A and B are shown apart, each in its own frame.
Chain A
Amino acid sequence: MSTLRIPLRRRGHLASAMLVTAAYILPVYVALVSAFKTQDQILANPAAPPAPFTFDNIIKALSRPDNLVQGGLGNSVFVTAATVVLLVPLASAVSFYISQRTPKVKAALLAFFALGLMVPPQVVLLPIVELLTAIGLDHTYPGLILSNIGGGYLSFAVFVYVGFLRTVPPEIIEAARVDGAGDVRLWWQVIMPVVRPATATVSIFLGLWVWNDFLNPLLILGPLQGQTITTGVYLSVGGYSTDYGQLFGIMFLSAVIPVVGYLVSQREFIHGLMSGASK
């Protein structure tokens, strides 16, 4: 029995670590099992495992006549993907451009973009809604995507890219120039592959933030225009606050994509968190 050879103290440490982690993560567990339990099971014993196991909540959530889950998931995927796909090349090109300028110009541009990191979203929301109304994009997805791209997310992306570009040896850029690459080709074929770790960081964080964003979709799209899954969950709380089974089913479906995405990419996630935060 090899387990017996593990010193008692170390086994005690592992046990207490597991106990503390389980206690901390208990609310997530309760939400997860509740998605697969009936209303009666949830009320009788919230923490018990789902036995018997039921898919009723998930099926009910997916067969709602208002199409809240499918519609919301579709809209969230679209808004998140469009924001990331448009913002990543824009931010990396701008950052490469900035990083090649003289120190003075570079510092000025970076300071200008730094403003975006300090502005709470609530401060700019009202003028953004008014601006979108003026150009006819209020209550539209392009309006939401444009304000995602132009707002504080751009600042974050530029900071990550410029920080990463500092570590790229100038010889790489030199060699490509000597080979006669134009600026756009140099950026797309040489720089983009080199900054892939920064692209991973930016995409992961923007994806998560845009997916979980609540205030912008709620007030830019408006409740009547169909919503993202995050605002959809919020709006379903009112009507179903007593039907926990239904509510947890919807929550499970709305959280499964970001949580699985995190579990799959957690190495890049943590790495990006540290490199992004240390600036």
Chain B
Amino acid sequence: MPSARTASRRRPLGLAPFLWVALLLYVAFLVYPVLNSLWTSFTDKNPLRAESSFVGFDNYTEMLTDERLRASLLFTVVVVVVVTLIANAIGLGFALLLNRQSVGYRVMRTLIFIPQVLSGVIVAIIWRSILTENGLLNAVLQRIGVTSAPVSWLGSTEMATLSLCAVVSWITIAFATVVYSASLRSVPPSLYEAAKMDGAGAVSRFRNVTFPMIAPGTTITVVLCLITTFKLYDVIAVLTGGGPANTTQSTAYYLIQLAFTNNLFGYSSAVAMLLLALTAGIAYLVTNVLRKREARL
């Protein structure tokens, strides 16, 4: 019925006003701000001065010698890599362990997602109380005799970075477990039976059946790890405040400090453009690479 087909493609013009409202708000609060940041990145705008002038690529060349920016990028990369590895490994482990159908297992799968439901602020406060010098973690470690003196989990550069990675991983494991649980349920049981008939052992069944079938779960988790880490702010603000000595700052955190604490609007906009380019570029790249991997598996 060709007539029905063309009719269904009829433009529902009565709804056009909704599109205009949506486009107006979207342009005002997303597209315009991006373009505004791009323009500002070529100026020396500072709210403490009335006038700002065009400075060309000065802000961009300044980024090349900015030690704090370099440190923030390195920190972001470390967190991304560590969190992605831990969340995928432990999330998959949890999903395999809890992959059974009974009330008990269903309750456990429900509980495991709660860290994702809590706000970053609350998660960070909980962990700060556990990681503090006389907190639960040190108490346990001292009682079982692992350490004699309390460890300063948030005090030194290395420990604070480690603690932040652990806390962000803790949040992300919740997400990864749920995604992998759902992926495991989508594997047709007939594939396992066929593999068993062929005499495949548990390890071989995991490698040749489970692993390829859960590849989309890996894609989702990796992309989420990237997105979370690139816009990480609240956990850092509460857990370490970017310290000690500015060593636990993500680029997104540094950007907010530049704009709202240091009033360097021009320079912070240039850093914003760098962050935008990195986020968009990496999201595009990773999605493509992982989708190809899914197809290959």
Contact = CB atoms under 8 A, between A and B. Distances in A.
Asked if chains A and B come from one complex, the reply is yes
Interface of A: 13-14, 16-18, 20-21, 24-25, 27-28, 30-31, 34, 43, 46-47, 89-91, 93-94, 96-98, 100-102, 113, 115-116, 118-128, 130-131, 146-147, 149-152, 154-155, 158, 170, 173-174, 177, 182-184, 186-187, 208, 211-212, 214-215, 219, 230-231, 233-234, 237, 244, 247, 251, 254-255, 258-259, 262-263, 266, 269-270, 273-274, 277-278
B34 A119 contact: yes
B182 A215 contact: no
A18 B108 contact: yes
B188 interface: no
B179 interface: yes
Chain B interface mostly:
helix
A34 B27 CA distance: 46
Nearest to A267: B110
A96 to B, nearest CB: 6
B256 interface: yes
Contact of A270 (B22, B94, B182): B182
A83 to B, nearest CB: 12
A90 B9 CA distance: 21
B233 A46 contact: no
A251 B112 contact: no
B252 A127 contact: no
A28 B216 CA distance: 29
Interface in B257-297: 259-260, 265, 268-269, 272-273, 275-276, 279-280, 283
Given A47-B136, A122-B233, A126-B259, A186 B12 contact: yes
Interface of B: 4, 7-16, 18-19, 21-22, 25-34, 36-37, 40, 94, 97-98, 100, 104-105, 108, 110-115, 117-122, 125-127, 129-130, 134-136, 139, 170, 173, 178-179, 182, 216, 220, 224, 230-231, 233-234, 237-238, 252, 255-256, 259-260, 265, 268-269, 272-273, 275-276, 279-280, 283
A101 B216 contact: no
A149 B191 CA distance: 45
B15 A187 contact: yes
A150 B120 contact: no
Contact of A24 (B16, B112, B121, B272): B112
A121 B119 CA distance: 16
Contact of B130 (A30, A97, A150): A30
A21 B112 CA distance: 7
A126 B15 contact: no
A174 B275 CA distance: 46
Contact of B139 (A46, A152, A244, A270): A46
B120 A128 contact: no
Contacts of B22: 90-91, 94, 154, 158
